[in-house]
């Protein structure tokens, strides 16, 4: 553990760190001003999985407010002020890896007298196996404030998986070594909550300490068992603190389409259907479940519902992937749960309290009574297909990442896919119509047939778009492009960062990217 510190006397003093860093002199202390009795010191985080967190400690001879100003070659930032009664103990994040930072700690008493101490600290470098993430451009004046958070994943045994945050300069300021594929990510009051694989939800603080675990497996000490067969793709926190999770069930159906070319030809099949579960985070108890096979037409299919092997390992037998849910959203005003169903090419809304089907937003092909009554008719624009990453926007609009696969529903012929896009739909509940309000397809013609996310950023009226798994046209192309674009026509790019795979034989993907105002 590396530690940088300084002790102050009444006028001035200097000290050396316990390692290889030298600490400059402390600013001269005015007569009668607060005095640092020990420190301030900065200590590197002992948790190797999250090295860009440093602990700041100091003792002062009286109650004061303490503030911190940090600068390096790229940026300047501040933290505090904190009201302290003699002792300061806080953690700081936003260090640039490998860069030397000047840290000024100032203590001010209630008379306005102040003492400052200056430290110099060099943050650890990026790990050797860190993903190849390249900053392209930024317009900080036009961007929404905050940090872009995402987790590049790639195939292969023991492949490194880093959950990371980048600032407006396109530089990493925090990472956590998650060690498996990360799906949904959520900022919590105490840290970061992320879905790991298909069977565990973890929460870590920004120092990398695990502070929560909800798992369908045997939990580690302090973790909670959740009685579900899986948790996959998305978990979100409801306003009352309960967790909403995608899970799965398998059913033997006597009649199910046996062919995409002729869906009317049906026979027995074992089918995986998504279930939405509400979980008590304090106990892991299942409070409610909504099986979508009970809510929707179990015999309606979209393309790929008969071709996927996604659930066969879990159920141990050939399994049709009927719905393939991949995203959740909650509208508190309507008490409505929204779920994105990739293999139905639809986003479906139902009442959390009532459990009743309220809305189907997607292609109207092949929906029969009584489900057809929930359809919203398209009144301008084009439908999404195989969508991901739904997000509610201003005035109840619905954003989605339109992957664009197939462009039709069976038995209509597949449409050759050209590009993926972000799209926003405005819903009129009174007329049960939906209008395409806004969209963004990158002029470079990206097709990302899986993954992806869209997030509306109200602070700047911009939209974060994650092309999460691009099919490369050239070996030197990125496989992930994360953009912030203006919410106007035509949209303008104000931030871009790209991710590259280590080789042409490997892949690098990002399930979702987010912008968080605070980190």
pLDDT digits (tens, 9 = 90+) for 116-151: 999 999 999 999 989 999 999 999 999 999 999 999
To the nearest whole percent, how much of the chain has pLDDT over 70?
Answer: 93
370 Cβ contact list (under 8 Å, min separation 6): none
Is the pLDDT score of 20 beyond 70? Answer: no
pLDDT, greater one: 257 or 474? 257
**Mean pLDDT of all residues in 94-106:** 97
Domains of the chain: 3-122 (2.60.40.10), 132-217+224-233+242-247+270-311+318-516 (2.120.10.30)
Longest dimension (CA), the chain: 91
Q: Report d(CA 435, CA 444) in Å as an integer.
A: 26
Kindly indicate the confidence band of residue 27, based on its pLDDT and cuts at 50, 70 and 90: low
- What is the pLDDT, as a whole number, of residue 475? 87
Average pLDDT for the chain: 92
Q: Report d(CA 385, CA 416) in Å as an integer.
A: 12
* Predicted TM-score of the model (pTM): 0.92
**Mean pLDDT of all residues in 338-348:** 98
480 Cβ contact list (under 8 Å, min separation 6): 152, 466, 467, 468, 469, 470, 498, 499, 508, 509, 510
pLDDT for 360-406, tens place per residue? 999 999 999 999 999 999 999 999 999 999 999 988 899 999 999 99
Task: Please report the sign of the dihedral spanned by the C-alpha atoms of residue 318, residue 404, residue 497, residue 424.
Answer: negative
The conformation of residue 113, written as its DSSP 8-state character, comes to: -
**Mean pLDDT of all residues in 325-346:** 97
The two tokens of residue 256 are 């199910």
Q: 274: number of CA atoms within 13 Å, CB side? A: 26
Is the pLDDT score of 19 beyond 90? Answer: no
């Amino acid at each position: 553990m590396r530690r940088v510190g300084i002790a102050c006397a009444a006028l001035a003093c200097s000290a050396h760190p316990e390692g290889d860093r030298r600490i400059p002199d402390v600013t001269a202390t005015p007569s009668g001003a607060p005095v640092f009795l020990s420190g301030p010191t900065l200590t590197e985080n002992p948790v190797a999985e999250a090295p860009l967190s440093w602990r700041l400690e100091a003792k002062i001879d009286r109650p004061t407010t303490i503030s911190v100003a940090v600068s390096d070659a790229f940026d300047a930032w501040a933290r505090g002020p904190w009201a302290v009664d003699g002792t300061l103990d806080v953690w700081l994040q936003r260090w640039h890896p490998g860069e030397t930072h000047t840290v000024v700690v100032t203590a001010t008493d209630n008379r306005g007298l102040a003492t400052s101490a200056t430290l110099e600290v060099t943050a650890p470098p990026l790990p050797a196996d860190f993903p190849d993430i390249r900053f392209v451009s930024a317009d900080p004046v036009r961007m929404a404030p905050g940090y872009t958070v995402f987790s590049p994943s790639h195939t292969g045994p023991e492949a490194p998986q880093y959950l990371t945050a980048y600032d407006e300069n396109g530089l990493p300021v925090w990472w956590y070594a998650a060690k498996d594929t990360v799906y949904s990510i959520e900022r919590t009051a105490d840290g970061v909550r992320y879905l790991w694989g298909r069977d565990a939800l973890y929460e870590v603080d920004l120092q990398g300490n695990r502070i929560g675990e909800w798992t369908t497996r045997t939990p580690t000490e302090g973790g909670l068992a959740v009685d579900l067969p899986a948790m996959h793709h998305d978990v979100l926190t409801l306003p009352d603190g309960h967790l909403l999770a995608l899970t799965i069930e398998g059913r033997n159906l006597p009649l199910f389409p046996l062919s995409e070319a002729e869906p009317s030809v049906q026979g027995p099949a074992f089918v995986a259907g998504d279930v939405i579960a509400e979980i008590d985070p304090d106990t892991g108890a299942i409070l409610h479940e909504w099986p979508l096979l009970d809510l929707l037409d179990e015999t309606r299919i979209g393309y790929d519902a008969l071709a996927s092997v996604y659930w066969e390992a879990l159920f141990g037998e050939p399994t049709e992937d009927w719905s393939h849910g991949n995203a959740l959203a909650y509208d508190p005003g309507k008490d409505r749960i929204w779920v994105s169903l990739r293999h139905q090419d639809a986003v479906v809304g139902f009442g959390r309290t009532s459990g009743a089907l309220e809305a189907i937003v997607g292609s109207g092909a092949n929906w029969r009574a009584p489900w057809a009554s929930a359809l919203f008719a398209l009144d301008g624009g084009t439908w999404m297909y195989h969508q991901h990453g739904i997000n509610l926007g201003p005035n109840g609009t619905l954003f989605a990442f339109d992957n664009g696969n197939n462009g039709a529903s069976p038995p209509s012929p597949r449409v050759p896919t050209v590009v993926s896009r972000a799209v926003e739909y405005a819903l009129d509940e009174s007329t049960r119509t939906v209008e395409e309000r806004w969209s963004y397809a990158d002029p470079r013609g990206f097709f990302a047939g899986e993954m992806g996310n869209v997030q509306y950023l109200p602070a700047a009226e911009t939209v974060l778009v994650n092309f999460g798994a691009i099919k490369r046209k050239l070996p030197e192309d990125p496989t992930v492009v994360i953009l912030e674009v203006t919410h106007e026509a035509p949209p303008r790019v104000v931030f871009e960062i790209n991710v590259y795979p280590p080789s042409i034989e490997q892949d690098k993907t990002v399930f979702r990217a987010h912008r968080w105002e605070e980190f």
